[in-house]
């Protein structure tokens, strides 16, 4: 029996065992939680016991996790389908770090670019860099996917630290997006950052041109109010952005892992270089933990193993991310790209079919809003949705501490309700207390039953600071890495996005009336003709 089979057998043995009964062990909570630099992950409310955990850790060991982890941190070309190293960790490495790729230390370049980006951010913040009419009041980051979701999520998360110009994010090729953002801004006081690793992404290049036209209508030298972040410096030059405002990075930084470098420029401008440095330090602290803690006491590893248990072993196809932290409202969207673009693959590293399901569907919304929307299904639906709660012990609004207490109470109540549920007898007793009896009571009671025994984890931290945000994001990055290693796939390519891009290109000329739709299927032809019938 291999370890996967042992885990499946373990799952069959456990069946629907009560998670609540695991708490008969007074050490359950302590034994099934982990700490890293002031942050705690509590996974005691899952059906994982010591034996299951040992099997899961053995699964990670058997997948060669430790060697793969070292290979990543030391610059080996582990992204084999693109023949690249995977070194987003270099972007947050300390001053004394040395990381070799193809025999050369990459850190000097990383540090130089970081220093240049930070200096530019401070120039924008202080007014040393100005627009045609003076100080920059607004920054527009144009990018999509990893060139948008990370900085947009982090800018919102760090709102209490925001003391620079206003920062806006435009991603969608839908003209409505850029229209609604630019309509509120003064081009003479706006800086546009075009963020694109490849500088070819159609959405970004189209929006960049729209922004340039908008700027050119009022500003005599519009290119002077543009900056670019990209690996493709010849393309940024062709777009007319002067090299001193171009911030490069290397192809060993994946788009969805790029927030730590110059793709974070808009965030740097919002919160300043010092706060951005604290964010990097948080990521670095999680790197150190991930690299050194034993697998069974390693937060990213355990979070990944909980995920593998729920998805590949228990068969729960989705995972809800539920930050009880309004400023993490964009975290679920960010994690959708991080996790689903990384581990949504159907072939293993060697090209063979994946023997098990790939990563789960990730979705979520902040609490308490989600409670009034989809929690009904989480509590009483027929499918189990493992939930991941995130919670700060302290908010940033001391004068609203009573609201924070309500937020905390709600978060803890939800995981408790998922764990305990409410039995038929308890439902009956509640109804009886309200005066119902007989058939009327019986008719109502079953609707008020909560099966309970539904798993959740809670990541709890003192307060959402730049350092803590860095820890959280690095935690999830490494979790994705560990899950990818266990599943035996390449977490660092994204070939699955290509086909749709190619077909969109072929449909452009059809919509422009310059090509025929004859080779398209009937449904696509019908939709095209609907659009053409309503065009203009
Ligand atoms: O289409 C997917 C993708 O390649 C993502 O992986 C990436 O984050 C996004 O597009 C944007 O790419 P770029 O930064 O090159 O514009």
Whether the CB of 197 sits within 6 Å of ligand 1: yes
CA of 338 to the centre of ligand 1 (A): 12
Whether the CB of 204 sits within 6 Å of ligand 1: yes
Whether the CB of 156 sits within 6 Å of ligand 1: no
For the stretch 256-281, pLDDT in tens is 999 999 999 999 999 999 999 999 99
By the 8 A CB rule, do 113 and 141 touch?
Answer: no
Active-site residue, from 250, 278, 339, 341: 341
Query: Is the overall model pTM greater than 0.90, yes or no?
Result: yes
Strand partners, 461: 392
Whether the CB of 340 sits within 6 Å of ligand 1: no
Percentage above 90 pLDDT, the chain: 98
Atom of ligand 1 nearest to the CA of 341: 6
Atom of ligand 1 nearest to the CA of 203: 16
CA of 398 to the centre of ligand 1 (A): 40
Mean pLDDT, rounded, for 377-402: 98
Confidence (pLDDT) at 404: 98
For the stretch 343-372, pLDDT in tens is 999 999 999 999 999 999 999 999 999 999
Atom of ligand 1 nearest to the CA of 143: 16
Q: Residue 2: how many CB atoms within 10 A of its CB?
A: 9
Active-site residue, from 27, 372, 434, 447: 372
Query: What phi and psi, each to the nearest 5 degrees, are found at residue 100?
Result: -100, 130
| 30 labelled catalytic | no
CA of 148 to the centre of ligand 1 (A): 9
Confidence (pLDDT) at 1: 83
CA of 504 to the centre of ligand 1 (A): 15
Q: What angle do helix axes 50-62 and 299-308 make, rounded to 10 degrees?
A: 100
What Cα–Cα distance (Å) separates residue 437 from each residue in 321, 429, 440, 441, 467? 40, 10, 6, 5, 56
CA of 441 to the centre of ligand 1 (A): 56
The residue whose C-alpha atom lies closest to atom 6 belonging to ligand 1 is 255
Mean pLDDT, rounded, for 21-26: 98
Biggest CA-to-CA distance, the chain: 82
For the stretch 115-126, pLDDT in tens is 999 999 999 999
The CATH number for 496-533, chosen from 1.10.1060, 2.60.120, 1.20.120, 1.10.1390, is 1.10.1390
For the stretch 392-451, pLDDT in tens is 999 999 999 999 999 999 999 999 999 999 999 999 999 999 999 999 999 999 999 999
Whether the CB of 198 sits within 6 Å of ligand 1: yes
| 168 labelled catalytic | no
Q: Is ipTM beyond 0.85?
A: yes
Task: Give the DSSP H/E element, type plus range, for residue 131.
Answer: strand 130-131
For the stretch 501-531, pLDDT in tens is 999 999 999 999 999 999 999 999 999 999 9
The residue whose C-alpha atom lies closest to atom 10 belonging to ligand 1 is 145
Note the Cα 398 to chain centre separation in Å.
28
Whether the CB of 147 sits within 6 Å of ligand 1: yes
Instruction: Please report which confidence band the pLDDT of residue 536 belongs to, taking 50, 70 and 90 as the band edges.
Output: low
Whether the CB of 236 sits within 6 Å of ligand 1: no
Strand segments, DSSP code E, in 143-230 are 166-170, 190-195, 226-230
Residue spans in the chain of domains classed CATH 3.40.50.10490: 3-74+278-420+455-493, 91-271
| 399 labelled catalytic | no
Mean pLDDT, rounded, for 211-229: 98
Please give the CATH architecture assigned to the domain spanning 91-271. 3-Layer(aba) Sandwich (3.40)
Whether the CB of 171 sits within 6 Å of ligand 1: no
Residue 215 has pLDDT above 80, yes or no: yes
CA of 333 to the centre of ligand 1 (A): 15
CA of 505 to the centre of ligand 1 (A): 16
CATH topology assigned to domain 3-74+278-420+455-493: Rossmann fold (3.40.50)
Helix ranges, 201-298 (H): 202-216, 233-238, 265-271, 273-292
- Measuring CA to CA, which residue among 247, 219, 5, 232 is closest to residue 121? 247
For the stretch 442-501, pLDDT in tens is 999 999 999 999 999 999 999 999 999 999 999 999 999 999 999 999 999 999 999 999
Mean pLDDT, rounded, for 166-180: 98
For the stretch 288-329, pLDDT in tens is 999 999 999 999 999 999 999 999 999 999 999 999 999 999
Residue spans in the chain of domains classed CATH 1.10.1390: 496-533
């Amino acid at each position: 029996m291999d370890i996967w089979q042992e885990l499946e057998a373990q799952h069959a043995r456990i069946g629907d065992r009560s998670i609540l009964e695991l708490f008969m062990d007074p050490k359950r909570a302590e034994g099934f939680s982990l700490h890293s630099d002031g942050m705690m992950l509590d996974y005691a409310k899952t059906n994982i016991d010591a034996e299951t955990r040992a099997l899961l850790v053995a699964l990670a060991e058997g997948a060669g996790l430790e060697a793969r982890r070292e290979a990543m941190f030391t610059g080996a070309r582990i992204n084999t389908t693109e023949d690249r190293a995977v070194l987003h960790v270099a972007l947050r490495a300390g001053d004394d770090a040395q990381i070799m790729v193809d025999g050369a230390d990459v850190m000097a370049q990383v540090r130089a670019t970081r220093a240049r980006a930070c200096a530019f951010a401070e120039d924008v913040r202080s007014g040393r860099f100005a627009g045609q009419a003076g100080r920059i009041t607004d920054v527009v980051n144009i990018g999509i996917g990893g060139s948008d979701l990370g900085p947009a999520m982090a800018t919102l998360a760090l709102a209490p630290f925001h003391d620079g110009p206003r920062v806006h994010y435009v991603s969608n090729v839908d003209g409505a997006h850029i229209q609604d953002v630019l309509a509120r801004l003064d081009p003479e006081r706006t800086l546009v950052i075009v963020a694109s690793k490849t500088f070819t992404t159609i959405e970004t290049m189209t929006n960049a041109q729209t922004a340039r036209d908008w700027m050119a209508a009022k500003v005599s030298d519009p290119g002077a109010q543009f900056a670019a972040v990209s690996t493709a410096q010849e393309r940024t030059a062709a777009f007319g952005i002067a090299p001193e405002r171009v911030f490069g990075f290397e192809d060993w930084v994946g788009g969805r892992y790029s927030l730590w470098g110059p793709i974070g420029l808009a965030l740097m401008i919002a919160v300043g270089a010092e706060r951005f440095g604290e964010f990097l330090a948080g990521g670095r602290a999680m790197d150190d933990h991930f690299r050194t803690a034993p697998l069974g006491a390693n937060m990213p590893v355990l979070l990944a193993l909980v995920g593998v248990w729920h998805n590949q072993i228990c068969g729960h196809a989705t995972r809800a991310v539920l930050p009880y932290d309004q400023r993490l409202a964009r975290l679920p969207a960010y994690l959708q790209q991080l996790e689903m673009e990384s581990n949504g693959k159907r072939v293993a590293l060697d090209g063979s079919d994946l023997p098990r399901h790939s990563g789960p569907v990730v979705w979520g919304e902040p609490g308490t809003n989600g409670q009034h929307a989809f929690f009904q299904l989480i509590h009483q639906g027929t499918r189990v949705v493992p939930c991941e709660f995130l919670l700060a012990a302290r908010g940033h609004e001391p004068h609203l501490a009573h609201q924070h207490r309500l937020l905390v109470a709600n978060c803890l109540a939800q995981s408790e309700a998922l764990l305990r549920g409410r039995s038929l007898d308890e439902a009956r007793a509640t109804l009886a207390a309200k005066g119902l009896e007989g058939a009327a009571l019986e008719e109502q009671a079953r609707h008020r039953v909560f099966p309970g025994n539904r798993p959740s984890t809670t990541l709890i931290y003192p307060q959402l600071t730049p350092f803590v945000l860095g820890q959280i994001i690095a935690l999830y990055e490494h979790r994705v890495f560990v899950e990818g290693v266990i599943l035996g796939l390449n977490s660092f390519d994204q070939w699955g996005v290509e086909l749709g891009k190619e077909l969109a290109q072929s449909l452009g000329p059809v919509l422009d009336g310059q090509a025929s739709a004859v080779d398209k299927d009937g449904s696509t032809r019908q939709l095209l003709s609907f659009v053409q019938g309503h065009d203009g």
